[in-house]
Amino acid sequence: MNTTIGDRIRSLREFRDVTQEQLAQRAGVSVDTVRKLEQGIRQSARINTLRSLARALDVQLERLVGQPTVTQELSDDGGLLALRDAIQDIGVLPGVLADDNLEDPPDESAWVDSVKAATGMYWRGDYSRLSGMLPLILRDGQAVAREAGTDRVWQQLALAYQLAASLCTQAGHPDWAFAAVEKQLAAAEKASDPLMSGMGVSTLSWVLLRQGRWEQAQAVAERKADALEPSFRKSTPAQLAVYGNLLLAAATPTARRDQRNDAEELLNLAETAAVRSGPVRVYGSAFSVTDVQTQQVNIALAGRNNQPAAALALAERVDLDAITRPVHAAAHRVDVAQARYQVGDLDGALADLLAVEEQQPEWIRFQALAAATVREMLEAERRRNSSLRSLAARLGVDPSL
């Protein structure tokens, strides 16, 4: 039996022993919204409304919307639980006797190559294969670090933990991701690499955002950006890229908090850095003017007073061929689909979502925004649309709504 968002809201509200009126007041939404969701009159709400309700109920958004927290395929060599165990390594805890039967470390160069291959899997959206490989990469990385412990090894181990944090966040496990970021930042310190530390804080900001901790997500990214702010005359592309990524990380929660002017100022600074740096691929990520432009689209959709028409106008500037990471391109197209839906272009929104699903069939199943958009479209459809209802079923949205 499929449970709806309204079912989950009612169950959590009753568990918390609060009335519909009290929940609405805590969340800053109308009691009519809560009532209609619980009664099934409405099957979804704007993503910011759902975030507010999740925060008021003291649960993660992923639980409220029913986001999948498992990969599509089972792996003999690992999986998300194995990844959790590799991140939460009990052998490094104080007072815990470590296993003396440690494996010999692999060849350092071969291990570094495996981190590079894993990075490619993440940006292609190949999460099932990545979840099978990444636990072993983390364990091998710890072994290589014990044996060699060079700056290069620690830097690559930090990057491996960054991948783990990103995958766990996408898969609806932000608490595991937080632990992975801790390991990433610790490895960056041992590598004596302030830029890797900067990327770690950028990842942390994203994890905090997904946990609903918007104020902290903004603050940590802004502070780190200020600390690493480069001299535009003497800076390297890598310095500008890390600085720019931190500005982008800070802009998103700023916009979610309805501080649109501040968010746009952060984006303007990031665009200046991107023009100066040119396209850069560094520390497992990328930075360019195109990356800033896609974030401008995303932020136009953020907050209570979002601007879907402005988002579509900004999207016209984006050169899709310049987006080098398939997952990034997919995320941008989901944003465009949400904007199209909000201006009344349901056919265009559906076409975008179907195209994303064709290109990223596994990735899209983890996207709360895509599922929320489909729920809203089901409510708004004037005639039964078999393509929409089939997509809804594949994304875990009850197509009978």
Task: Output the pLDDT for position 106.
Answer: 86
Task: Output the pLDDT for position 155.
Answer: 95
pLDDT > 70 fraction of the chain, expressed in percent and rounded? 90
Mean pLDDT of 58-79: 64
At residue 263 the predicted structure's pLDDT band, cuts being 50, 70 and 90, is very high
Instruction: Give the 3-state DSSP-derived string for 152-177, with helices as H, strands as E and coil as C.
Output: HHHHHHHHHHHHHHHHHHHCCCHHHH
d(CA 83, CA 161): 10
d(CA 84, CA 177): 9
Given a cut of 90, is residue 164 above it in pLDDT? yes
* Cβ within 8 Å of residue 166, ≥6 positions away: 122, 177, 203, 206
At residue 62 the predicted structure's pLDDT band, cuts being 50, 70 and 90, is low
End-to-end CA distance of the chain: 13
Task: Output the pLDDT for position 246.
Answer: 97
Q: What is the pLDDT of residues 125-149, one digit of tens each?
A: 998 889 889 999 999 999 899 888 8
Task: Output the pLDDT for position 196.
Answer: 95
Task: Output the pLDDT for position 101.
Answer: 56
Given a cut of 60, is residue 71 above it in pLDDT? no
Given a cut of 90, is residue 292 above it in pLDDT? yes
Least confident of 87-101, 202-216, 277-291, 333-347: 87-101
Given a cut of 60, is residue 350 above it in pLDDT? yes
Least confident of 47-51, 265-269, 348-352: 47-51
Task: Output the pLDDT for position 1.
Answer: 45
**Which has the closest alpha carbon to 177: 125, 126, 117, 217?**
217
At residue 76 the predicted structure's pLDDT band, cuts being 50, 70 and 90, is low
Residue 63 or 276, more confident: 276
**Which range scores top for mean pLDDT: 10-14, 27-31, 225-229?**
225-229
Q: What is the pLDDT of residues 335-345, one digit of tens each?
A: 999 999 999 99
Q: Which helix (H) or strand (E) holds 324?
A: none
At residue 258 the predicted structure's pLDDT band, cuts being 50, 70 and 90, is confident
Question: What pTM, to 2 d.p., does this model score?
Answer: 0.82
Q: What is the pLDDT of residues 191-211, one digit of tens each?
A: 999 999 999 999 999 999 988
Distances (CA, A) of 55 to 29, 211, 227: 12, 9, 31
Task: Output the pLDDT for position 380.
Answer: 73
Given a cut of 50, is residue 308 above it in pLDDT? yes
Given a cut of 60, is residue 72 above it in pLDDT? no
Return mean pLDDT, the chain.
87
d(CA 253, CA 259): 9
d(CA 157, CA 195): 14
Mean pLDDT of 87-98: 75
